[in-house]
Structure 1
């Protein structure tokens, strides 16, 4: 299979998108420019004043929508091209109706021809579910505008000329949605203008919102299948030791993209038009390029932005070979259990916290999930829910977001009880190959004594050698190197400023506290990377990553109809 290289959109496509956005900006600005009196007087002989105002408002909406379409055109979305063609043709008519603006109409006509001539560059598939959502939005806003206009006419019925019937009221409200004057005549112009502006605004809003919804980035509902799940776990048994995040590919919200012979797989999720892979591909490194190529080809076919969150060094090199940029995202704390000890001055704080908890009667039990009884497991699940900070289960790249699943029998739990036998805290570690553990879940009762987390972590590190575990991955520290280098002698002003900014951000996202909580166990630090096509995609990728990790709420939309399975073999 030929390896797909997605780096950046073709220059011609980027240029077309920029030109469409510039044309949209000119459309908006053209409504602010003064019009020639001769043109307006000639136009007013054929078009009423209300029609001219509607055309001016429509031109602004068309311009704003063309600016909005730039991102979709840049990603090669076919639907964005279709809408841009329609809007550019409409803009020609609107420029003429709003004041015989031949120059602006000519620009729109050139744009229309250019889009028709380059249609072969826009082939990315659209999300079918958006069509129904767009139709619902259009009908909803249009119906609201019609109802408001009808009610306003009823309120002003005494100001109407003659005695028109209800059918003419409805005709007036319906025509007002498209900016056309209806059959009713008002004794006072103000009343008629209010009805016209209300219905016209709702009509423009219906069209604008419907197009925005229609062009929303697509998504994909994960459908893994039993065969794919079994093959994934087979790969984890053979190659799971290569990456501490590999077991998190079993999350139900991740899709699977396989190489042709199913020797390797990329686990990913589509969020807000970003195809977000997490960790390294699973399988032998020789099969990675084919799986990566299939994933990139799928993203390109749908116009999604490919990105990789938290991959290791080897995978970062593989992604860089296909054209993605790679930057360091942070470091993963890994403790060697054979050399871990509470002795020594650097471990004084942890040692004191652990000894204090043990003197208070706290004890920890380290056990595989499969060895827990049903009652004990149910108690652990209830405690995890009770100790959770907030109603949302956070995690995507480095969290399993489930507890007690029968398929996770190899997961290791640390259960901490106080002197009365009450469960006060728990940790869950997922397998990292045959001799490693990766921290997944950390929950504790906030009313427990200080040092609960230290006791649980130290207990599993001390008992790890007896369990055949020689390495334990703790939390991930975002941009750890910034904090570490800022504390070194001779750190420059830029680095210190960057460190201060991260400390401010830590008030919301605990960036520094995670680094400090990991560093006290004296781990080795393994860098993790972010891979992306271009720097301009970083804001969208950041929003998608925060939504996937549940730090930002996801919009609640009606469940989409079934699509073809997301588990794909290429």
Structure 2
């Protein structure tokens, strides 16, 4: 008890009172003001009150110039709305672009003779300059070249189209003008300035100005958006990291059934200064998505979490944690992250498992049916399987997969047969002819546990194959020193469980119906039913996040990581060598 108290005190000492990743109020205020100004610019650009101002300025500025200024004001407003999110995350590039756009907005408003908005934009520009030290998050260096390429592409397309348009209307030009003057006119038109050419008909000049001005605006606007795209970090292990993680899992792997999945090839590791704890994560669309609990000693978790959050703040990434348990959620919550229950993990207690009794009737009958049909299971460590048997299992893992994508991130290894995973436990199910018809792979959970990773079964096989493989794993577990087995994760299991209880409220029942509808695509309810029949204990898993406004971005990142969206397919290897 005394040691536990000391550990809690150490954790409290390490936990900062105000997390460094949380945006300061002044930065949030600047971001909101910029977005308000952007919305105002976008709205005023489409209001009809500009006609009398055009008449007043007709002797000072050409009509095409005023039209371009009006369109540019709308584009600037939309960009300011977009840049507000980057400012909130402290992006230095967002500050630079916003400062430039506010200065441009002042000029554009003056060109439209709207003095009041020009003063507002000037005021925002002053605030940005005063608060410049608040914006220091790094951008993705690769975005510079991407933005330059996109901008150059639009500008080149606009120049070619504008030049062709002028060439086709060369007969309507007044005075002598060669190709060089045509090119000069197109280039100036792309930045909203009236060129040296004059057409016999005003509508012709306006058409050329609209073409060149549109491509100029698109080039700079799209380039700015690409420049501010959320950064990422390529997966990869630093020298010695994998060996250290495996050693850490060997010493401290009993705490979390998901610890071994930190060894996925698409995850990165950030260490506590002492190297006694680490956070496994992946960056997707500006979200740094950690999975499970921190690795290592709980006393060193605060240092690892602080290092991870400092990395998020340095790059302007949104921190989020997928599928941590109660201990991990508590540790992350001390750093200011909020938590919601994501679902429950089914855990079988091996010594207490039995097929006897009415609750296990369905499992008992399914197992008996499969055994009577002649199916048998072999339970073996991967390292003890000969090369021919391992190659057959590899073929089964690919052939029996449903769909063309290997899904998983937080609770899947997404590879099979790697020599480094020799401690994985395999359940191989064969029919009477010796053909492999089903496969389970369990990864180590410390020294006395297993966590289900891969489930494959021939859909043409008899019913009861999956139940037979799970029960065979449980029955063979004592021989391998295994005391507990983690099965599939059931998303929002508590909703289904509460909906089945007497007196369940209307909100719970409606929510359960919504999840059942979603189960047609994602097997939400079927996974819950498949786990529940083994009478496991349920361990809640949580999603940790900074604020409710970030949940949509985090949800997209999580679905991408789990390969439910195309972006998540990169970096994860399919089962195979």
Give 1:566's aligned residue: none
1:358 pairs with 2:374: no
The structural deviation recorded for 1:36 is 6.5
Give 2:265's aligned residue: 252
Distance in 1 (alpha carbons) for counterparts of 2:437 and 2:555: 35
Give 1:229's aligned residue: 242
The structural deviation recorded for 1:387 is 1.8
The structural deviation recorded for 1:447 is 2.1
Alignment of 1:549-560 (within 5 A): 549-554=562-567
Deviates more, 1:222-231 or 1:497-506: 222-231
Q: Deviations over 1:389-427 (max 9, x none)?
A: 222221111110111111100001111222222222211
Distance in 1 (alpha carbons) for counterparts of 2:103 and 2:569: 34
Q: 1:77 aligns with which of 59, 76, 91?
A: 91
Distance in 2 (alpha carbons) for counterparts of 1:181 and 1:444: 70
SS of aligned partner of 1:529: strand
Deviates more, 1:175-184 or 1:487-496: 175-184
Give 1:33's aligned residue: 47
SS of aligned partner of 2:289: strand
Give 1:322's aligned residue: 335
The structural deviation recorded for 1:241 is 0.9
Distance in 1 (alpha carbons) for counterparts of 2:391 and 2:176: 73
Distance in 2 (alpha carbons) for counterparts of 1:26 and 1:218: 29
The structural deviation recorded for 1:150 is 2.4
The structural deviation recorded for 1:484 is 0.1
Give 1:194's aligned residue: 207
The structural deviation recorded for 1:158 is 4.1
Give 1:563's aligned residue: none
Distance in 2 (alpha carbons) for counterparts of 1:434 and 1:87: 59
Distance 1:457 1:303, change over 3 A: same
1:428 pairs with 2:467: no
Distance in 2 (alpha carbons) for counterparts of 1:131 and 1:35: 39
Distance in 2 (alpha carbons) for counterparts of 1:83 and 1:22: 16
Q: 2:532 aligns with which of 497, 519, 537?
A: 519
Give 2:110's aligned residue: 96
Distance in 2 (alpha carbons) for counterparts of 1:46 and 1:555: 55
Distance in 2 (alpha carbons) for counterparts of 1:149 and 1:138: 16
Q: Deviations over 1:324-344 (max 9, x none)?
A: 112211100001111222222
Give 1:62's aligned residue: 76
Give 1:203's aligned residue: 216
The structural deviation recorded for 1:173 is 2.6
Deviates more, 1:482-491 or 1:506-515: 506-515
Distance in 1 (alpha carbons) for counterparts of 2:276 and 2:343: 29
SS of aligned partner of 1:407: helix
Give 2:154's aligned residue: 141
1:304 pairs with 2:317: yes
1:6·1:533 contact (CA, 8 Å) conserved in 2?
Answer: no
1:476·1:514 contact (CA, 8 Å) conserved in 2?
Answer: yes
Q: Deviations over 1:144-183 (max 9, x none)?
A: 1112222333444444445643333323332222122333
Distance in 2 (alpha carbons) for counterparts of 1:226 and 1:126: 25
Alignment of 1:383-422 (within 5 A): 383-422=396-435
1:14 pairs with 2:28: yes
Distance in 2 (alpha carbons) for counterparts of 1:142 and 1:2: 52
2:345·2:487 contact (CA, 8 Å) conserved in 1?
Answer: yes
Normalised by the size of structure 2, how large is the TM-score? 0.93
Give 1:130's aligned residue: 143
Distance in 2 (alpha carbons) for counterparts of 1:76 and 1:469: 48
SS of aligned partner of 2:296: coil
The structural deviation recorded for 1:6 is 4.5
Give 2:513's aligned residue: 500
1:533 pairs with 2:552: no
Give 1:87's aligned residue: 101
SS of aligned partner of 2:120: helix
SS of aligned partner of 2:487: strand
1:7·1:533 contact (CA, 8 Å) conserved in 2?
Answer: no
Distance in 1 (alpha carbons) for counterparts of 2:281 and 2:308: 9
1:284 pairs with 2:297: yes
- Paired positions, count: 557
SS of aligned partner of 2:388: helix
Distance in 2 (alpha carbons) for counterparts of 1:268 and 1:174: 47
Distance in 2 (alpha carbons) for counterparts of 1:46 and 1:517: 76
Alignment of 1:558-569 (within 5 A): none
1:88·1:109 contact (CA, 8 Å) conserved in 2?
Answer: yes
1:7·1:323 contact (CA, 8 Å) conserved in 2?
Answer: no
Gaps of 5+ in 2: 1-12, 571-577
1:469 pairs with 2:482: yes
Distance 1:189 1:389, change over 3 A: farther
SS of aligned partner of 1:238: helix
Q: Deviations over 1:2-61 (max 9, x none)?
A: 645246321211111110000001111222334477643332112100000000000000
Give 1:52's aligned residue: 66
The structural deviation recorded for 1:456 is 1.4
SS of aligned partner of 1:554: helix
Distance in 1 (alpha carbons) for counterparts of 2:180 and 2:455: 66
Gaps of 5+ in 1: 558-570
Distance 1:257 1:186, change over 3 A: same
Distance in 2 (alpha carbons) for counterparts of 1:153 and 1:372: 74
Distance 1:555 1:26, change over 3 A: farther
Distance in 2 (alpha carbons) for counterparts of 1:526 and 1:503: 22
Distance in 2 (alpha carbons) for counterparts of 1:556 and 1:484: 33
Distance in 2 (alpha carbons) for counterparts of 1:191 and 1:40: 19
2:561·2:569 contact (CA, 8 Å) conserved in 1?
Answer: no
Give 2:491's aligned residue: 478
2:560·2:568 contact (CA, 8 Å) conserved in 1?
Answer: no
1:177·1:199 contact (CA, 8 Å) conserved in 2?
Answer: yes
